Amino acid sequence: MWLGRWARSPWSDVVLAVCAAVAQLWPLLSRDGPWHWWGYVVAAGSALPLVARRRAALPVLLVSYAFSASYDLVDAVASQPLWYGPLIALYTVSAWSGRWVRWGALAVILGGGLLTVGSSDTAFRGVVVSVTAYALGRAAAGSRAHTAILTERAARLERERVLEAERAAERERARIAREMHDILAHAVSLMVVQAEAGPVVVRADPERAVATFDAIAAAGRDAMDQLRRMLVVLREDGSGAPQAAVEDLPDLVRQAAGAGLEVGYEVAGEPRPLPPALGVAVYRIIQEALTNVVKHAGASRADVRLSWQEQELAIEIRDNGRGAGAGLPSGGNGLIGIRERAAACGGTASAGPEPAGFTVRARLPL
């Protein structure tokens, strides 16, 4: 990562220009001279413009090539082709410039090279290295464009995932609101009816008034409890049948095992009676987790553990499926529903991969 940031910084161009200049000056410095001062000027002049290669790719190429082509104007210079600066500049033009600029630059370099070289062997090598530099630049441009497309696509998919998670949470909250409306509407309506009848009953039948006020208090307490828990009480068939509870979990485990999954069921601590709403939440959390295991995990075994503690009930569902040890996202609708159910009871829930397997945990206060 730091190497990529360094390659994109202006200082990398400075280092590249200095390295190219040293490489082109080295034959003049390491071989016995004396060499004409023009050779030193041209060797440095064809490389140092690379400092500005990203800001002015085509002018840098033309300047660098002009210096390089004038190297042999004097005889007293070391025998070498000054290719480093022009080739790097051609690569830059190929990687960052438009089509017509790229093609024009390549034509100038190839045509000028064929006109100025002294032998066919040197001309052939010049054509090969120039075409190679151009091809490498186009490959870099293609890679950069492909990376940009993948980055944009990943960002778009992430936005869509976040939006879908938000929509799923909104749907779950809407369902919570509908169910709570039914529950609280009943309780509040009962309180209103009893309160309106209260003044009449107080005058006509004081003993009955006491029962009326007790009913109002009971309805109020129940409504406050429902508001605090914010729990959806779901009836799958809408017939008012008895709701699922912790006592039904062994049957749920057997149902999951009937789907071809080996399921372990363990209870630690001393079980105790739960309010109906909390019992439904426990059942539904485990049901949703096991459903996810059967449908998505590709697991052969799952373990369900209930740990009854003094102040809370801890739930853990672990499987050995595809999620084990992998960085899977936790944005599915089922996991959102589990978190919403736990939060509605004043608890917490989490899900994610662990070395031992993909694990769903929930803690519900008693």
Reported as a single tens digit per residue, the pLDDT across 64-106 is 888 887 777 777 777 777 778 888 888 888 888 778 887 877 7
Written as six digits, the tokens of 181 are 């409306």
**Domains in the chain, number:** 2
pLDDT at 315: 92
20 domain-assigned: yes
150 domain-assigned: no
- Express each pLDDT in 237-256 by its tens digit: 444 445 567 888 887 777 66
C-alpha triplet 170, 174, 179: angle, nearest 5°: 150
216 domain-assigned: no
Nearest to 288 by CA among 338, 353, 238: 338
154 domain-assigned: no
Instruction: Write the CB contacts of 338 (distance below 8 Å, at least 6 apart in sequence).
Output: 285, 288, 289, 349, 351, 360, 362
Instruction: Write the CB contacts of 318 (distance below 8 Å, at least 6 apart in sequence).
Output: 302, 303, 305, 354, 356, 357, 358, 359, 360
Q: What b/e sequence results for 327-362 when a residue is b if at least 16 CB atoms lie within 10 Å of its CB, and e otherwise?
A: ebebebbbbbbbbbbbebbebebebebeeebbbbbb
pLDDT at 271: 86
The stretches in the chain having pLDDT less than 50 are 3, 186, 232-241, 324-331
pLDDT at 189: 53
Determine the number of helices (DSSP H) and then strands (DSSP E) in the chain.
11, 5
Where is the domain boundary, 116, 150, 180?
Answer: 116
158 domain-assigned: no
Cα separation, 203 vs 198, whole angstroms: 9
Q: For residue 346, what is the domain's CATH number?
A: 3.30.565.10
**With contact defined as beta carbons under 8 Å apart, do 306 and 266 qualify?**
yes
The domain of 50 spans 2-116
- Express each pLDDT in 164-196 by its tens digit: 888 877 776 776 665 565 556 545 655 665 676
192 domain-assigned: no
One-letter identity of residue 150:
L
pTM for the predicted model, two decimal places: 0.43
Where is the domain boundary, 99, 116, 133?
Answer: 116
- Helix (H, G, I), strand (E, B), or coil: what is residue 322? coil
